[in-house]
Amino acid sequence: MSADPSEPGVIRPGHVVLDQNGDVAQLHGIGILNWNGRFYAWGENKAAGSAFTGISCYSSGDLATWRYEGESLTRGEGELAPDRVVERPKVLHRAADGAFVMLLHIDSSDYADARLGVAIADTPVRPYRYLGSERPLGNLSRDIGVFVADDASGYLLSEDRDHGLQIYRLSDDYLSVESLVTSLLKPGATHGYESPTMVKHEGLYYLFGSDLTGWSLNDNVYATAPDLAGPWSPWRLLAPEGSHTFESQVSVVLPVETSHGRRFVYCGDRWQRDELFSSPAVWLPLRIGSGRARLEWVDEWTLADL
Ligand code: DGJ
């Protein structure tokens, strides 16, 4: 395998991701950025199962060959104590000063705290300085995703059991939540979806999420809208019904610029409840266009196939 983009390595959905040492990359609940021509990714280090161990950072040229860069956030006290839950690291690059802002799901071990955490660093890797947490506009916030618009304005996608899947506008420095854009519910339910991620393509926003089933997998869904405030389309399945999204939960849909235009990669987790550390990654090309998103299974692929 090679990190040379002209000869990308092979990605095997349903297998664990290995780093340069042959260790299982702790890229669970992945967040990912393309920075300076390289992918930087952060994940939940599940060495202690669901209890907080660290946020690990890796980099890659081709999404197949990964270099372990170190721990971006490590155990400490208070909200980062070993009995806490710290999940779904999502990093935004602040163009104004080059800082990297990491947003996180911060929780107690019983998932009752439901807060949004924030940390900041000068480099993508480390050290990140933990700044604290908030409940966005007083609301519950568990699984999160982030989105940066063309004008660099930042958005938080957040699962709020009381009000649905929330889209919030972030402050210009990305460090706090400024205002609510809209709330989306699952049809017939009083809650929304979790593990949200969003991309914009050909003038339409595509918002993805999963149902609320703990570590069990379900048929994930997406909706589209011409404006973040809506109107949003009905929710649709992105993979064959009953496949549980090819036994995975979406974490991120990653835009990738190719020689023939922008393409998308679905990055999901195949959670192994009793051995979260070794949960395989399900990363697949995701076809997006004309208001539809479609995930199809392939055993192997490379970035050149996008
Ligand atoms: C579903 C979430 O998507 C995961 O990140 C994790 O919080 C589990 N629930 C815990 O049951």
Please check the confidence at residue 2 and state whether its pLDDT lies above 60: no
Domain membership of residue 4 (yes or no) is: no
| Top mutation candidate among 87, 218, 251 for ligand 1, by most atoms within 8 Å of CB | 87
Distance (angstroms) between ligand 1 centre and the Cα of 246 equals 18
Closest-lying ligand 1 atom to the alpha carbon of residue 107:
7
Domain membership of residue 2 (yes or no) is: no
Please check the confidence at residue 4 and state whether its pLDDT lies above 60: no
| Top mutation candidate among 26, 142, 213, 273 for ligand 1, by most atoms within 8 Å of CB | 142
Name the DSSP letter for residue 80.
Answer: G
| Region for residue 173 given its phi and psi (left: phi exceeds 0; alpha: psi -120 to 50; beta: otherwise) | alpha
Domain membership of residue 264 (yes or no) is: yes
Distance from C-alpha of 197 to C-alpha of 199, rounded to nearest angstrom: 7
pLDDT in tens, 42-83: 999 999 999 999 999 999 999 999 999 999 999 999 999 999
Tell me the backbone φ, ψ of residue 153, rounded to 5 degrees.
Answer: -70, 140
Domain membership of residue 7 (yes or no) is: no
User: What is the three-class DSSP state of 226?
Assistant: coil
| Top mutation candidate among 111, 113, 141 for ligand 1, by most atoms within 8 Å of CB | 111
Domain membership of residue 15 (yes or no) is: no
Domain membership of residue 178 (yes or no) is: yes
Comparing C-alpha atoms, which of 124, 110, 227 is closest to residue 167? 227
Higher pLDDT, 127 or 243: 243
Rounded to two decimals, the pTM is 0.97
Residues with CB under 6 A from ligand 1: 29, 87-88, 143, 194-195, 214-215
**Please, what sign has the CA dihedral across residues 172, 233, 213, 112?**
positive
Distance (angstroms) between ligand 1 centre and the Cα of 270 equals 12
Domain membership of residue 19 (yes or no) is: no
Closest-lying ligand 1 atom to the alpha carbon of residue 142:
7
> Averaged over 165-177, what is the pLDDT?
98
Distance (angstroms) between ligand 1 centre and the Cα of 214 equals 5
What CATH number does residue 100 fall under?
Answer: 2.115.10.20
Q: Tell me which residue has its CA closest to atom 1 in ligand 1.
A: 214
Distance (angstroms) between ligand 1 centre and the Cα of 215 equals 6
Q: Which two tokens stand for residue 65?
A: 């060959």
Please check the confidence at residue 291 and state whether its pLDDT lies above 90: yes
Number of independent structural domains in the chain: 1
Residues 6+ apart with CB under 8 A from 139: 158, 160, 162, 163, 166
Per-residue pLDDT band for 299 (boundaries 50, 70, 90) equals very high
Q: Tell me which residue has its CA closest to atom 9 in ligand 1.
A: 214
Q: Which two tokens stand for residue 206?
A: 């595509």
Mean pLDDT estimate for the chain? 96
Per-residue pLDDT band for 6 (boundaries 50, 70, 90) equals low
Domain membership of residue 10 (yes or no) is: no
% of the chain with per-residue pLDDT over 90: 97
User: What is the three-class DSSP state of 98?
Assistant: coil
Q: What range defines the domain where residue 242 resides?
A: 28-305
Distance (angstroms) between ligand 1 centre and the Cα of 50 equals 9
Distance from C-alpha of 63 to C-alpha of 216, rounded to nearest angstrom: 26
